[in-house]
Structure 1
């Protein structure tokens, strides 16, 4: 500075200009993630603070299946962590992309590094759940039959073993990557026949209750029930029966009664005649029958696979199959005024080779059925009907086999807490090699929406059988199936992504 004839020297100053572009150093979900929960946080962490005024829905774009969706964008107090909360439209099952535009700048006005301006992930309809996903399901001469999940997602299953001309029944829990047996030994054995015919439920503590058909001599059989107390197996009665003159008791199906005690449905027969369906509830120290055993159709037809469930208004309801020489038919009865009352006289024809039916309840507590019905073209479709006061009505059009399907197998039905029906089934595509596809769908109120996605694929192939749909005590919709790759038979478990 010059002042008159005097020169003053000021202190030297260094001005640093920030020309370094900010970068994204951490992302959630991870780029390319395939099994993202729809409620997982969406965040980006920057290498330096960014200008809060530039972090807006205009500079941060979110697309699902290429369509932009509503979102709310916020920035942490230190200016380094951005959070995106998606709105309507962020739902399975489409690819998701987050795009950060050049409008997003740091405190010096530098735009975001071009390599940090976006990433993508997938939110499938179904995501892995629980500890049982990947559990080995067979070993030597043993195999699992019935299974259930506790509220924490732990897998419990019955195991049937055949060795030295004897059949053995075990109950095991999958923990820390291995199966552990309840108790020191089996819960049943037989030298008269298999113990494959069994049913399993879990109490609120995750302890199992098991019912099974115990073969006897000369073709007779009984239904027996045991529960795990936490330390040992305890029999619930000597056996379950209503009519002692019926030598064959079979097809047990366990369910929880509204009282909090176990309930059971089963069939009784005198070999080839007088086949009936029975039900009972456990009452402190004995099984209390729900009315008389019944059969709403010709008693010469063999009754098989009864399914017992309770409506939300606590009405016991049973669906069962009457098998005949040329066709099988489905029937439903409800226990009203201490009497089993058949719902309509209509016969629902079902595939002869697979006499199974699934039962659930809709939004107004009406029974819903799903089964395999013939199409007249040599294949089968998945048919679903619900009860409207006095008649059965199709719920949408039957779900037909996809092109190339050889046969359709085992539809399973369950409803969520709102009464919305979900259906799963398997389509056999080729015989050599055996190749099948797991299919799922949800009723929208107007039609069936496919819930198939890549989450069913394991190691590039989908080979499935024995799938189930279950609603846990916490309301989770859980899909499970057996996945066979080469010689390994493993459990796959997914829950609905919502």
Structure 2
């Protein structure tokens, strides 16, 4: 008889718990070892090669109290011994973490004051957070008055960045409070440590977003004023203004790059001397990239004459254009330039002229590469006396000029519109509902070529004035609408037509305790306020005035105006937060 010795099979040592290769803990962790293919005499549990527990019989379960272990990774293995042979499990990593997660950054930041209504809300943590602790009901985005905003949340794959996406644009103006976790349900890291009070913060969503800071060409007490603004070929605003440099006033221009204001050339003044003040800037821009800048300028220290000048931007400099006939003549005043151009580059300009006796409107045309301006006859009717205050706009091949004049038959001043400087639009002047003298008229054409006019009416010697609007209705002017219902002593209208065809106006008005900038839009024949009144200061001695409005990209209104900034006026630009 032969005795056959059969060798014992190798022991298989593995893990019943934890099942994952990595386990996070801030206290105790349950461990359970599984041994197959036989019975060992001894099973040891090792943490970083140090035996922390030993069994001589199953079950091989142990709850490890990690309070004595240092924070960080610990390699856990099980070792079963039978006879002189030891069998070891694959390692498990236990990560001991007793440090609470921290918020490393927020966007928008705590206390941020210029947050877009479409800004995503993001939080970056110091370590991964537990996805199971991110319950929708534990993420609160609320306004200061307690309204809850619906958001969806997205946790990055590394667990360290949480993105909250509002289902609707944030309300403006508003103060938004974000809370991560509640009293009973905390956000935790993978070890169970709770996020503290820093999971709550607030930020402000204003009605208007600033495009840069206060704009001034010079430091110190150098008042910047009379800002005008147009939409550049790229949809971004271009501005021009007059500013005193300590000796004389010059014209300056700048364009918004999307992040900062870039000056276009240096100060502009066509005449030498310390008191040849350059004022009344006028801009023209179009989608072809044409950029024209006109202004008027005192011809000498006695200020009895004024001339007008036009420059064209090209090759990163302002290029001179020919002088106008009569420019520089003593006691001959050219003022209030208004300029436009055709897609082929033909420039048209309107000027108010005072010859020492009466006012009139002159218009000139300059063809590309021409050496001289060509006068355009301006056919104002003979019964309209002292026409002035003209502004011009263009649609297609037509130009429209609005102006005011004294009408003998009405015994008052009123507004008229000329088409191509020759034909009155409408059989009668624009009705002035109060019978007061109209002024500061501005004109733009809508997408169908119908001109729209906004103006101010005030009785002679009175500070009470209102803003009115009318539109050409095909055969007559629509009944004027009073727009300035929110304020008194209204001045300085500016008009734009939205990409949606809706007219929008900005103006300066007084509403206690100070003068601010108001904006209104017409929809379905009704005028409603846009945003909140604009002002950068609260003092009654810093009035906001002389606004200019354009429609930027995505049909968003942009407003520029002048207001005190420290010791002198500066230019401020805001974009509607929508």
Scaled to the shorter chain, the TM-score interval is 0.7 to 0.9
Q: Residue 400 in 1 paired to residue 485 in 2?
A: yes
Instruction: Report how far residue 43 of structure 1 moved.
Output: 0.6
Greater CA drift, 229-238 or 22-31: 229-238
Structure 1 residues 268-347: aligned runs within 5 Å: 268=353, 272=357, 275-276=360-361, 278=363, 280-286=365-371, 292-296=377-381, 298-300=383-385, 302-311=386-395, 313-323=396-406, 327-335=412-420, 340-347=423-430
1:245-264 correspondence runs (5 A): 249-264=334-349
> Match for residue 456 of structure 1?
535
- The correspondence for 2:439, drawn from 352, 355, 359, is 355
Post-superposition offset of 1:479: 1.3
Match of 1:50 among 106, 129, 152: 129
1:7: Cα distance to partner? 6.6
Q: Distance in 2 between matches of 1:26 and 1:225?
A: 51
Relative distance call for 1:79 and 1:426 in structure 2 (3 A) is same
Partner Cα distance (1:381, 1:334) in 2: 26
TM-score by length of 2: 0.67
Unpaired segments ≥5 residues, structure 2:
1-32, 34-38, 46-51, 54-63, 67-95
Other-structure match for 2:206: 124
- Secondary structure in 2 matching 1:10: strand
Paired with 2:223 and 2:294, the residues of 1 have a C-alpha distance of 18
Describe the superposition over 1:159-211 as per-residue Cα deviations: whole angstroms up to 9, x where unpaired: 46796xxx765546699999989469842247998643443446877966334
**What do the CA deviations read for 1:131-173 (whole angstroms, capped 9, x no partner)?**
x62426797787654554766667543446796xxx7655466
Residue 369, structure 1, aligned to residue 453, structure 2: yes
Q: Any idea what SS the aligned residue of 1:355 has? A: strand
- The 2-side partners of 1:108 and 1:238 are apart by 76
Instruction: Kindly provide the CA deviation profile for residues 103-147 of structure 1, in whole angstroms up to 9, marking residues without a partner as x.
Output: 5644658485351443222222211104x6242679778765455
Answer yes or no: is the 8 Å Cα contact 2:493–2:508 preserved in 1: yes
What is the CA–CA distance in structure 2 between the aligned matches of 1:409 and 1:271, rounded to whole Å? 27
Alignment deviations for residues 249-301 of structure 1 (CA, whole Å, 9 cap, x no partner): 5431123433345432224566556834535354331567696312257232x
Alignment partners' CA distance in 2, 1:389 and 1:83: 52
Which one has a bigger Cα radius of gyration? 2
Q: Distance in 1 between matches of 2:445 and 2:381?
A: 21
Q: What is the CA distance between 1:92 and its match in structure 2?
A: 2.1
Q: For residue 457 of structure 1, report the CA deviation from its aligned partner.
A: 3.2
Question: Aligned in 2, Cα 1:159/1:200: closer, same or farther, shift over 3 Å?
Answer: farther
Q: 2-side partners of 1:398 and 1:44: how far apart? A: 44
Q: Once the 2 structures are TM-superposed, how far is the Cα of residue 409 of structure 1 from its aligned partner?
A: 1.9
Match of 1:60 in 2: 139
Question: Partner residue of 2:508?
Answer: 426
2:296 is matched with which residue: 186, 205, 212? 212
Post-superposition shift, 1:74?
A: 1.1
One of 299, 307, 311 as aligned partner of 1:226: 311
Q: Is the 8 A contact 1:423 1:441 kept in 2?
A: yes
Q: Is the 8 A contact 1:214 1:224 kept in 2?
A: no
**Counterpart of 1:68 in 2: which secondary structure?**
coil
Q: What does residue 479 of structure 1 align with?
A: 559
- Range moving further from structure 2, 267-276 or 474-483: 267-276
Shift in CA distance, 45/108, structure 1 to aligned 2, threshold 3 Å: same
**How far apart are the structure 1 equivalents of 2:402 and 2:495?**
13
Task: Answer whether contact 2:484 2:490 (CA < 8 A) is retained.
Answer: no
Q: CA deviation at 1:366?
A: 2.8
In structure 2, relative to structure 1, the CA distance for the partners of 1:454 and 1:9 (3 Å cut) is farther
Which deviates further from its counterpart, 321-330 or 26-35? Answer: 321-330
Match of 2:282 in 1: 199
CA 1:394/1:111 → structure 2, altered by over 3 Å: closer, same or farther?
Answer: farther
Query: How far, CA to CA, are the matches of 2:169 and 2:263 in structure 1?
Result: 44
In 1, Cα distance between equivalents of 2:241 and 2:523: 33
Structure 1 CA distance for aligned equivalents of residues 359 and 482 of structure 2 = 36
Question: 2:44 is paired with a residue of what secondary structure?
Answer: coil
Give the aligned partner of residue 162 of structure 2: 82
Structure 1 stretch displaced more, 139-148 or 316-325: 139-148
- When the two structures are aligned, how many residues end up with a matched partner? 479
User: Is the deviation greater in 71-80 or in 106-115?
Assistant: 106-115
What's 1:28 paired with? 107
Instruction: Kindly report the root-mean-square deviation, in angstroms, between the aligned alpha carbons of the 2 structures.
Output: 4.7
Pair 490,211 (structure 1): closer, same or farther in 2 beyond 3 Å:
closer
1:434-445, aligned counterparts within 5 Å? Answer: 435-445=514-524
Separation in structure 2 between the aligned mates of residue 304 and residue 192 of structure 1, nearest angstrom: 25
Shift in Å at residue 480 of structure 1? Answer: 1.6
Secondary structure, counterpart of 1:469 in structure 2: strand
Whole-Å separation in 1 of the counterparts to 2:278 and 2:482: 38
What displacement does 1:29 show? 0.4
Aligned equivalents of 2:189 and 2:274: distance in 1?
81
Change (3 A) 1:287 1:329: farther
Q: In the aligned structure 1, how far is the partner of 2:529 from the partner of 2:168?
A: 20
Task: Quote the residue 2:323 is aligned against.
Answer: 238
Q: Please state how far the C-alpha of 1:31 moved relative to its aligned partner.
A: 1.7
CA distance in structure 2 between the partners assigned to 1:229 and 1:446 by the alignment: 41
* Gap change, CA 1:40 and 1:259, over 3 Å in 2: farther
Q: 2:25 — aligned with what?
A: none
Task: Name the counterpart of 1:40.
Answer: 119
Contact 1:291–1:339 (CA under 8 A) maintained in structure 2: no
Q: Distance in 2 between matches of 1:155 and 1:117?
A: 42
Cα-to-partner distance string for 1:350-396 (whole Å, 9 max, x where unaligned): 89787201223345443222222359997222222222222333586
Contact 1:479 1:495 in 2 (8 A): yes
- State the 1:34 CA deviation: 1.4
Write the distance in 2 (CA, Å) between the matches of 1:424 and 1:62: 33
**Contact 1:168/1:189 (8 A) holds in 2:** no
Q: Is the 8 A contact 1:146 1:200 kept in 2?
A: no
Taking the aligned partners of 1:218 and 1:454, their CA distance within structure 2 comes to: 37
| Aligned residues of 1:22 and 1:47 also touching (Cα < 8 A) | yes
Distance 1:358 1:104, change over 3 A: farther
Q: What TM-score results when the alignment is normalised by the length of structure 1? A: 0.76
**Could you tell me which residue of structure 2 aligns to residue 391 of structure 1?**
476
Q: 1:76 deviation in Å?
A: 0.7
